[in-house]
Amino acid sequence: MIPESVARALDGKLVIDLSRVLGGPYCSQILGDHGAEIIKIEPPRGDETRDWGPPFHDQDSAYFIGVNRNKRAMGLDLSTEAGREVLLRLLENADVLLENYKPGTMESWGLGYEEVLKDRFPSLIHCRISGFGSDGPWGGFPGYDAIIQAMAGWFSINGEADSEPTRLGLAAVDMGTGLYCAIAILMAMAEREKSGQGQYLDMTLYDCAVSLMHPHIPNFNFSGKVPVATGNAHPNISPYDTFSTASVDIFIGAGNNRAFAKLRQELGSPELADDVRFVNNIDRVNNRDDLKAEIESRLKAFDGETIANRLAEAGLAAGPIHNTQQVVDHPHTHHRDMTIEKDWYKMAGTPIKLSRTPGDLRHLPPTFGQHTREILDEFGFSRQEIDQLLDAGTVLEKRRK
């Protein structure tokens, strides 16, 4: 744990987080890991990912727990006028409002950025995440990770050459959008230092997914050929693929002639230097099946873990294929502080390593409404006001059925 006296990059920044599911919560967790105060405001029935299990810890799913540390939580019914007034009071000192309601919802509640928030809170950064945005042919339509993967072309280039279109096994659209949102918020904060003005960030899953279609969109734009699934092989580099050994499969990437020469040397195969099929990368790409057969015929004499380590020590990009348990238990994962534990909590650490202002774990993922009273008290609500809001169901400490 980092001592409280150590500064964090986002100390003093306040984020009001209305988002649910994955993209928004992942974004706010990144900001919270580095010192921002995150107030997670959930609708009366809660963030639905609390129920996305098994597995669970107490009443909350591992899915929810994985992206909601370093936050405090309260329940709030924004469908009521009183609930919206509570939110407006919370926004008085906020740096960021993060939300992923369907486009038009905030406007229908009288909380639109252009109509209300921009003038009332001129320094506020309002980040909205939606599937497709509010306008255009698909504007306003709902969008989940897999739907966006399908529409943005990800299915078409994932899987083996003869497989059906396949979803990536990670929610990479949602999490990639969360990363882009964190970048966008930090950019807006940096610009605000000069202008003093906030702004509206129109972030969509679709845009983020299209932007991540590299190198497939560039390849198509310059060749006219529609990219297809190539399994683990890279469309532009060879060797860059999985290879069988005497034990576990390993992955080897050799992106230039020097790396390929080193690979030949480590495999004891100098004769491949004279093979016209493998002289340059373009030759190796055009003859990748032959090259894979040649490499695998030599790797069959080696234990996978041993040869992968040997190749890495020689300066080559290579590594064994691990399952999730092996990743969690790997000594390098622990060396890099990518497993953190506190009480019952065990999760991946922050990948953002800052030397003077490191991120850390300050708050365990909150239960629903855990900090409702505490937050309202800090924002100047009287005890009588808090009791009245709770009695009316405007703010909540327990999920509504």
**Phi then psi dihedrals of residue 40, to 5 deg:** -85, 115
DSSP character for 121?
A: S
Q: Give the model confidence (pLDDT) of 332-382 as tens digits.
A: 999 999 999 999 999 999 999 999 999 999 999 999 999 999 999 999 999
Mean of pLDDT values over 241-250: 96
The sign of the torsion formed by the CA atoms of 331, 337, 338, 343 equals positive
- Read off the pLDDT band of 5 (50, 70, 90): low
pLDDT value at residue 2: 56
How far apart are alpha carbons 363 and 69 in whole angstroms? 6
CA dihedral (14, 173, 175, 143) in degrees, to 10, reads 50
Report the predicted TM-score, pTM, of the whole model to 2 decimal places.
0.93
Q: What is the DSSP string of 125-149?
A: EEEEEESS-SSSTTTT----HHHHH
Mean pLDDT score, 263-273 = 94
Query: If pLDDT is split at 50, 70 and 90, which confidence band does 280 have?
Result: very high
Specify whether the CB–CB gap between 82 and 392 falls below 8 A.
Answer: yes
Radius of gyration of the chain (CA): 25
Which positions are catalytic? 174
> Residue 370: which of 23, 58, 21 has the closest Cα?
58
DSSP state of 116: I
- pLDDT category, 132, cuts 50, 70, 90? very high
pLDDT of residue 268: 93
Note the pLDDT of residue 152.
Answer: 97
Question: Nearest 5 degrees, angle CA 125-CA 129-CA 131?
Answer: 155
42 has a pLDDT exceeding 80: yes
Mean pLDDT across 255-266: 95
Structure confidence at residue 14 as a pLDDT band (50, 70, 90): very high
pLDDT of residue 401: 86
pLDDT tens-digit profile of 31-41? Answer: 999 999 999 99
pLDDT in tens, 87-104: 999 999 999 999 999 999
Which SS3 state, helix, strand or coil, does residue 176 take? Answer: helix
Domains of the chain plus CATH, in order, are: 14-212+335-396 (3.40.50.10540), 240-329 (3.30.1540.10)
> Do 82 and 394 contact (CB within 8 A), yes or no?
yes
Angle between helices 81-90 and 383-392 (to 10 degrees): 140
